């Protein structure tokens, strides 16, 4: 079974438990905190995934780091995952939890890469257009890539709208090379 499938199943069960105990928002924040902590500390991620390090050491490390900062249900979940030998998928499970939470709450993540920084008005316009197209709440992530020359690339899930000048130039170059123009 793939890592993503395992993580998805654990995340789904954990979401259901968090909803049942009416702590879904707290657990979502715990999962975001957990992901940020592991992202910033690759050694911790390596420890959790290591088959050489004992379960008790992993549990002690997780408890020391997270127990004072997260909900008891989150700590119990981490312990369950470690005891089942699934420390290697804890990060992916936390990511899946947040993704499934976003689906439940109708939150869409979109990213815009533009040649120059977008103004607040441009960001609002793009977010409003995405919201109108997909509904729910939109979280817009913006990045700047001067290599685009002009325009932007909007990504929503697996869909992409590329209006960049760099992309248009590549298409023209391909057309010229192919003799279609």
Which two three-digit tokens encode residue 89? 């998928």
pLDDT of residue 178: 78
pLDDT of residue 25: 97
- pLDDT (tens digit, 9 = 90+) per residue, 9-34? 999 999 999 999 999 999 999 999 99
If pLDDT is split at 50, 70 and 90, which confidence band does 180 have? low
- pLDDT (tens digit, 9 = 90+) per residue, 29-87? 999 999 999 999 999 999 999 999 999 999 999 999 999 999 999 999 999 999 999 99
Question: Other CB atoms closer than 10 Å to residue 37's CB: what's the count?
Answer: 16
Query: Tokens 């130039």 sit at which residue?
Result: 169
CB-based contacts of 117: which residues, under 8 Å, 6+ apart? 142, 144
DSSP class of residue 116 equals S
Of residues 52, 20, 44, 21, the one with CA closest to residue 94: 44
pLDDT of residue 94: 97
118-137 mean pLDDT: 93
- pLDDT (tens digit, 9 = 90+) per residue, 92-117? 999 999 999 999 999 999 999 999 99
Choose between 27 and 171: higher pLDDT.
27
154, β-bridge pairs: 112, 161
Choose between 181 and 175: higher pLDDT.
175
Query: Is a pLDDT exceeding 90 seen at residue 162?
Result: yes
CB-based contacts of 123: which residues, under 8 Å, 6+ apart? 112, 140, 142
pLDDT of residue 181: 60
CB burial string 53-64: b at 16+ within 10 A, e below: eeeeebbeebee
Q: Which domains does the chain have, with CATH numbers?
A: 3-103 (1.10.520.20), 106-178 (no CATH)
Distance CA 134, CA 180 (A): 37
The answer to whether 152 touches 113, Cβ cutoff 8 Å, is yes
Reduced to 3 states (helix: H, G, I; strand: E, B; else coil), residue 35 is: helix
Q: What's the mean pLDDT when you consider all of the chain?
A: 93
Helical axes 24-40 vs 3-20, angle rounded to 10°: 140
pLDDT of residue 172: 87
pLDDT of residue 175: 85
């Amino acid at each position: 079974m793939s890592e993503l499938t395992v993580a998805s199943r654990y995340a789904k069960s954990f979401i259901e438990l968090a909803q049942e105990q009416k702590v879904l928002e707290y657990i979502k924040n715990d999962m975001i905190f957990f992901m940020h902590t592991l992202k910033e500390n690759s050694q911790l991620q390596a420890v959790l995934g290591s088959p050489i390090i004992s379960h008790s050491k992993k549990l002690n490390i997780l408890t020391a780091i997270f127990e004072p900062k997260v909900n008891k249900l989150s700590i119990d979940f981490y312990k369950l995952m470690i005891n089942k030998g699934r420390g290697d998928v804890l990060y992916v499970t936390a990511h899946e939890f947040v993704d499934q939470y976003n689906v439940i709450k109708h939150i869409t993540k979109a990213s815009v890469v533009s040649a120059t920084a977008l103004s607040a008005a441009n960001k609002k316009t793009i977010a409003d257009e995405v919201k109108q197209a997909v509904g729910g709440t939109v979280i817009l992530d913006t990045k700047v890539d001067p290599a685009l020359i002009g325009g932007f690339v909007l990504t929503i899930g697996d869909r992409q709208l590329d209006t960049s000048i760099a992309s248009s130039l590549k298409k023209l170059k391909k057309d010229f090379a192919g003799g279609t123009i």
